[in-house]
Structure 1
Amino acid sequence: MYKKILFMLCVFIVGCDSTATAYKPVSSGNIHTISVVIDNKLWKESPGKELQKVFSSEFLGLPQQEPLFTLNQIPPSIFTDFTRESRNIIVISKSKKDTAYIESNKFASPQKIVYIKASTNKSLLKQINKISQKAISVFKANEIKEKQKRIKNSILKTKALDSIGISLTMSSGYKLFKKENNNKFWFQRETQKGSVNLLIYTLPLYKKNPNLESIIALRDSIGKAFVPGRNKDSYLITEKAYEPYFLKTKVSSLNTFETRGTWEVVNDYMAGPFLNYYIKDSKNNRTLVIEGFVFSPSVRKREYLVELEAIVRSLKVF
């Protein structure tokens, strides 16, 4: 009996110990922010400058320049305790071996840590450039998931999109602002100085893929018919002064054409950034278009666009 009790006690202790070992705190940090662990000297030299150039490059499609990521430098000596709980981390250091790799959930969860090590500054530059694009993709995906998680804390419950057989996860701050023919929807979330907007509509499925010119023509026609401005005969169009960015991507595993740029209003002084997703839903023989645009004068808009992309990438098609 004594041996049996002793055995059960050992199992309990081991079980508690493994549970404690497995526990990871919830990661922290502002959206699109990276903690960079690097000593002060390296930060001021070519490796630090290259990191800033790559990871603080321009966030595409904004009217005023904002960085892709906000970088917070941390000396290695204070990279302990809560500073290790950042969601996105880059650790750069001198080492005999040149290497660059990514680890997940080492100190917290969810978490992505990019390690860059090399023997010289020149070698560090090579390793930075070697892993930078992969690291950017990993960090961006991490931020989309984080934004989606935050949205779910206060989710909008609506059946408005049931008529077109889709669902999108958006916060309860969004309201159905306008609807037309059960296939065009405009959701809006008011902010302190403006609004964040989401347009959803369906089109026939065309065999030919769109190009930038056809996307601009499409969104301008929808803007004229569905998105009026504040003044008489005013409506939303693509800003003509700047050419939008156009690229291929996937949304909900569907072939998608993504456009980012700036919009303006005919006969009014309004403007801001937009992102447009032209989604080929072959299974349902149609095209889905989901567009987000922001009106928020004199305010940074990067996080609003991250929010809109997070909503679009939550798409489920029934």
Structure 2
Amino acid sequence: MKKIIKTVICIAALISAVSCMNNTKTLLPNVSGKAGEVIIVVGKDNWEGNLGNEIGGLLARDCEYLPQREPLYSLVNLSPGAFSDMFKLHRNIVIFNIDSTVVKQGVVYRTDVWAHPQCVIQVNASCADSAIVVLEKNGENITGAIEQAERNRVIANTLLYEESKLGDVVAKMIGGRVHFPVGYNLKKVTDDFIWIADEKQYSTQGVFIYKYPATDEDPFSEENIIARRNVFLKEYVPATAENSYMTTSVFVKPGIKFLKYHNLDFVETRGLWEVYNDYMGGPFVSHSFYSKDGKDIIVLEAWVYAPKYDKRQYLRQTESLLYSFEWDEDGNDGK
């Protein structure tokens, strides 16, 4: 009897396993396309008309705080008839469903429809003018979804090929870690400042992590954030020329935003850096927030130096690392 029960249990377990396998989502191919690229599926007449201008104004507007003009995303237009299976594997797709029979106008956000990890956004509207209204109402959410998808791909790739020892160094100082991919190396570490960078022949992607006591009356004002930044950079980031060091460019006023991501409230600061007494510069973005005990301000900063290349994608990659930050659950020992 025990043998029969055992056999029945095994068969039931096997059936259950097969059933689960049949219900599992089919494995999807990897996405195609370049980072920062978006396919826009809309008819030629609309692409060349007012709707196309609205799409370009939203998704191909100038990327803020770069030394040269670069679009936020690189757009590729396809008519619905040309949107074949090959293009359905692209990483970012925005489809315009413009039809007089559309009843519920709005935006639908989907992931991993034809490939992985994929962002697919569909704009439903009864006519081109209505589609423009939908874009005006949902524009920031659309760009936010694409930006988050781009960011998530960088973080996922980082976790696959992580240089975990660098995260340990960061955790020891601030009680939380930033994840870095292979290629990044530790340049400098003190009690209150860490410099980590991926240095290649013609480009550098760098990250600074630093902290200071939360004693300022308004610690998250643009003036205080930049003043503190300049003190750290002058002390810890010298350049090759005599009496030269990294600082914040005064030619473009930095901008700040108050944001929240994964339950972490922080101030995003964007601007341009330069080297005092030398001819170097580039974009930077930082996240400033309170330490766990509220006694310190912690700053995570991404910056790029790539004089021969466009900066948009370099900065987007490095900035994504800041979003990988997470508090350590076991205190600040970094282990």
Q: TM-score normalized by structure 2?
A: 0.85
For residues 18 and 316 of structure 1, what CA distance do their matches in structure 2 show?
Answer: 33
Counterpart of 1:94? 98
- Counterparts of 1:59-70 in structure 2 under 5 Å? 59-70=63-74
For residues 221 and 285 of structure 2, what CA distance do their matches in structure 1 show?
Answer: 15
Counterpart of 2:78? 74
Counterpart of 2:204? 195
Counterpart of 1:184? 193
Do the aligned partners of 2:40 and 2:93 also contact (CA within 8 Å) in 1? yes
Output one character per residue of 1:238-263: Cα deviation in whole Å (capped at 9) or x when no partner.
11111112111135522211111101
Which letter does structure 2 place at the counterpart of 1:76?
P
Which letter does structure 2 place at the counterpart of 1:179?
V
Aligned length: 311
Output one character per residue of 1:27-68: Cα deviation in whole Å (capped at 9) or x when no partner.
333222211111222211111121011111121221111111
For residues 266 and 92 of structure 2, what CA distance do their matches in structure 1 show?
Answer: 27
- Counterparts of 1:102-113 in structure 2 under 5 Å? 102-113=109-120
Output one character per residue of 1:117-138: Cα deviation in whole Å (capped at 9) or x when no partner.
3233222211221221111111
Identity of aligned residues (%): 26
- Counterparts of 1:19-168 in structure 2 under 5 Å? 19=24, 22-96=26-100, 97=102, 99-101=105-107, 102-158=109-165, 159-164=168-173, 165-168=175-178
Partner SS state of residue 116, structure 1: strand
For residues 56 and 79 of structure 1, what CA distance do their matches in structure 2 show?
Answer: 21
Unaligned runs of at least 5 residues, structure 2:
1-13, 329-335
Do the aligned partners of 2:195 and 2:208 also contact (CA within 8 Å) in 1? yes
Counterpart of 2:310? 300
For residues 219 and 10 of structure 1, what CA distance do their matches in structure 2 show?
Answer: 62
Do the aligned partners of 1:60 and 1:245 also contact (CA within 8 Å) in 2? no
Which letter does structure 2 place at the counterpart of 1:304?
Y
Counterpart of 2:7? none
Which letter does structure 2 place at the counterpart of 1:128?
L
Do the aligned partners of 1:252 and 1:314 also contact (CA within 8 Å) in 2? no
Partner SS state of residue 265, structure 2: strand
Counterpart of 1:245? 255
Partner SS state of residue 143, structure 2: helix
The change in CA–CA distance for 1:12 and 1:253 in structure 2 (over 3 A counts) is closer
Aligned-pair Cα RMSD in Å: 2.4
For residues 41 and 48 of structure 1, what CA distance do their matches in structure 2 show?
Answer: 9
The answer to whether residue 243 in structure 2 is matched with residue 233 in structure 1 is yes
Partner SS state of residue 61, structure 1: coil
For residues 259 and 15 of structure 1, what CA distance do their matches in structure 2 show?
Answer: 47
The answer to whether residue 293 in structure 2 is matched with residue 283 in structure 1 is yes
The change in CA–CA distance for 1:310 and 1:87 in structure 2 (over 3 A counts) is same
Output one character per residue of 1:173-225: Cα deviation in whole Å (capped at 9) or x when no partner.
11111122x33111111123131111111212347342111111111111111
Q: TM-score normalized by structure 1?
A: 0.89
Which letter does structure 1 place at the counterpart of 2:296?
R
Do the aligned partners of 2:219 and 2:225 also contact (CA within 8 Å) in 1? no
For residues 114 and 126 of structure 1, what CA distance do their matches in structure 2 show?
Answer: 16
Which letter does structure 1 place at the counterpart of 2:239?
G
Counterpart of 2:179? 169
The answer to whether residue 268 in structure 2 is matched with residue 258 in structure 1 is yes
Output one character per residue of 1:43-98: Cα deviation in whole Å (capped at 9) or x when no partner.
11111121011111121221111111111112211223231122211111321226
Partner SS state of residue 86, structure 2: helix
For residues 191 and 44 of structure 1, what CA distance do their matches in structure 2 show?
Answer: 41
Which letter does structure 2 place at the counterpart of 1:317?
W
For residues 247 and 209 of structure 2, what CA distance do their matches in structure 1 show?
Answer: 16
The range that moved more, 118-127 or 261-270, is 118-127
For residues 204 and 87 of structure 2, what CA distance do their matches in structure 1 show?
Answer: 34
The answer to whether residue 326 in structure 2 is matched with residue 310 in structure 1 is no
